[in-house]
Amino acid sequence: MFPEDDKEFFKWLIKIRRNIHEWPELAYEEHRTAALIAEELSRLDIPYRTGVAKTGIVAELGHEGPCVALRADMDALPLQEETGLPFASKIPGVMHACGHDGHVAMLLGAAHLLKANPPSGRVRFIFQPAEEKGAGALEMIKAGALKGVSAIFSGHIDRHFKVGEIAINEGLICAFTDTFTINIEGKGGHAAWPHEAIDAVVVGSLLVVNIQTIISREVNPAYPCVITVGKFEGGTAHNVIAERAYLEGTIRSTHPEVRKRIIDGLKRIAKGVGDLHRAHIKLKIKEGYPPVINTPEEAEIAREAARLIVGKEGVLKQPHPSLGGEDFAFYLKKVPGCFVRFGAVKKGFEKAPAHSPKFDFDERALPVGAKFLAQVARLALKKLREKEDS
C-alpha cells in the first residue's frame, strides 16, 4: 500500500528528483540544487533563508506556536554513474548514489502539502549540504537552524525495504564513524637482498590482517562493529622493496565501550607490528559522526504518522543497527527526534547498494516520504500543543 492518488503531485516530485539527479553537486557545492529549492519555495510562498552553512536553505511555515523541523540532505558523491538511466548524471565523476535527490523532493513535497493545509504551529524545513563529507548538519546547527526547534524528523531512502514500507526504531540506529590513517616507514632496498631492508608493504599487510582480529577476537560479538581498510598504497617498482606504505580505513561501532576497545586495540597492534619489524608507524585516528539515537517519544510519533500513510502492515522495524554513518546524529544531540527508513527497492536494481555507480530507487517512494514528513510534523505539533495546554 502506498499513496500516489494525486498524479500531478507525483509527476512534480519526479520532475524535481530527476532534475537534481541530472545535475549532482558535491558537499558545499550545491549551488544549483539550492537555487532549485529556492525557486520551488518561492512558488509555494514559503519564506526562506539561503546561504546557510554556505549552500544550505532554511525555510519556515507559520508564525506562532511550537516549532518542529524536517530535514533533507542535498549533496552527491564522487562517482561516475553507470545506471544507464535517461536522466543520468551529466556531471562527469559526480552522482546521486545515495538518494539525496529523492530526499530533497520529499521535503519539498512535504512543504507543498503543509502549505496547502497549514498545521497549528511552525514547521521548519532544513535543506542541508554536505552530509556525505563535511558534517553539514553541524554547520547548520552553528548557523542557527535549530533555534527554537522542539523536535526534528528526517528519513533515508532504503533498498532493503519495499515501497510502502517505513522502518522505525527507537534508540541507536546508525553507528559511530571514526576513520584512521597509518603511515609506515621502513627501509627501502633491492628485491634480491631483502635482509638489507625493512619492507613497508609486508608490514602494512600484517597490519591489515591483524587489525581484523580486534573484531573477531577482542570484541563481544553481540555488538555490531567493523574495521575496514579501504586504501593501501605502497611500492614503486616490481624489484624494489618499499620504504613507505600508507593505509586508510574506517571503524564502525555501536557502543561507546566497544568503540574505545577497538581504538585501543588498533593502537596496540600498530605499535606491536612496528616493533616486531623495526618499522616506524604513525597512526592517526579522526573522530567521525556520532551515532544516530532516536528518542522513544518521537519514534512513537513517527510510527503513528507512518500508520496513517502506509497502514499498520507497512510500519516495520529495522532488524539491527546500521553500521552506516549519518550526520543527522548531530541534530539529535541537541533536540529529540527520529530518523526513519523509506522502502524504495527498485526492480532490476536490487543488488546495487548505496554508494554504488549503479544505484537507483523506486520513485513511488517519493510521495510516501513527502506525505509521511508532512504527517509527522502535524502530529508532533499536536503533541507539543497538548503538553503546553496540560
Which is nearest to 137 in space by CA: 35, 338, 289? 289
Give residue 263's Cα distance to chain centre.
23
Joined together, the cell numbers standing for residue 223 give 555488538
Is residue 98 a known part of a binding site? Answer: yes
158: β partners: 343
- 100 a known binding residue? yes
Question: How many CB atoms lie under 10 A from the CB of residue 210?
Answer: 15
- Residue 4, Cα to own-chain centre: how many angstroms? 26
Is 280 known to sit in a ligand binding site? no
By CB atoms closer than 10 A (0-12, 13-18, 19+), residue 347 is exposed
CA atoms within 13 A on the CB side of 51: 0
Question: How far is the C-alpha of 25 from the C-alpha of 129, rounded, in Å?
Answer: 10
User: Rounded to whole angstroms, what are the CA distances from 183 to 25, 110, 131, 179, 254?
Assistant: 32, 48, 28, 14, 27
Binding site residues, as ranges? 98, 100, 132, 156, 355
Binding site residues for Mn(2+), as ranges? 98, 100, 132, 156, 355
